[in-house]
Amino acid sequence: MATPQPTSPRRARERELVLATRALFDERGMLDAPVEEIARSVGIARGLIYREFSSKEELFVLTVTDYLELAGVLDAATVPGRAPAEQLEHGMRAYAEFCRRYPAFLDSALSLMHRPARELHEMVSESVWLRLGQGMGRCVDHLEQVLRAGAQAGDFQVPDPPYMANVLWTQVLGAMHLARIRVGLRRTDAGTPELFKVEPEQITRTVVDMTLAAVRPR
């Protein structure tokens, strides 16, 4: 059995800063996590953060990557021997509930999607870019494998599982944002806009139902 390698001081400091950033994200949201406060929370000067990261964006991207423990949540939702439709239902519910549990993950994931991939790539190091891709890849791959199994069994109509997995990944983020703000908008008979209440559990059920409807043979 291989002996675990000790964590380098630099990697340990990086981890400390990522956890401090995530704590602020969870407490206040992504937009209210200034670098000064992150540095203060771990007892270092603001400038030292830029010895570890090339930019604030790089630190934030690594923090988003830390949330991609979601891959383990999706794996845990997999029940051996169950039909693909049940596996997909369990996985999508677990994904939606993770978004509800960690609204800062939802904010930060949507924020990353606002930038073209090439622009984001230019803002971070190759190492950070690779780690982000690996984290997201594990999550999307979970969905892809379930879709592929369902297509092979004839339960799903999914000619391109990688494409559909990416669509579902993105679709859930948008829907769960509605669950976070808990209001929808409609037009009244008088022609004026009106807000109405949306229950988060209702959105979770809708996400699961929409997913199953999108992949089942018509």
Domain residue ranges in the chain: 8-52, 56-215
Higher pLDDT, 66 or 160: 160
Domain 8-52 fold: Arc Repressor Mutant, subunit A (1.10.10)
C-alpha closest to that of 124 among 188, 209, 54: 54
pLDDT-wise least confident of 49-63, 118-132, 155-169: 49-63
Check residue 157 and give its pLDDT.
95
Rounded Cα distance between 74 and 88, Å, is 10
Check residue 42 and give its pLDDT.
76
| Residue listed under structure tokens 């790539």 | 121
pLDDT at 215 exceeding the cut of 80: yes
Check residue 193 and give its pLDDT.
95
Q: Which two tokens stand for residue 193?
A: 């806009």
The pLDDT mean for the chain works out to 87
For the chain, percent of residues with pLDDT exceeding 90: 48
Check residue 30 and give its pLDDT.
67
Q: Tell me if 8-52 shares its fold with 56-215.
A: no
One-letter amino acid identity for 63? T
Check residue 86 and give its pLDDT.
94
Other C-beta atoms closer than 10 Å to the C-beta of 162 total 14
Rounded Cα distance between 58 and 124, Å, is 5
Segment 19-57, tens digit of pLDDT: 888 888 888 776 667 778 878 877 777 777 777 787 788
Rounded Cα distance between 92 and 3, Å, is 37
CATH number of 56-215: 1.10.357.10
Q: What integer is the mean pLDDT of 174-188?
A: 91
Check residue 7 and give its pLDDT.
60
Segment 48-106, tens digit of pLDDT: 777 778 778 888 888 888 889 899 999 998 888 899 999 999 999 999 999 999 988 88
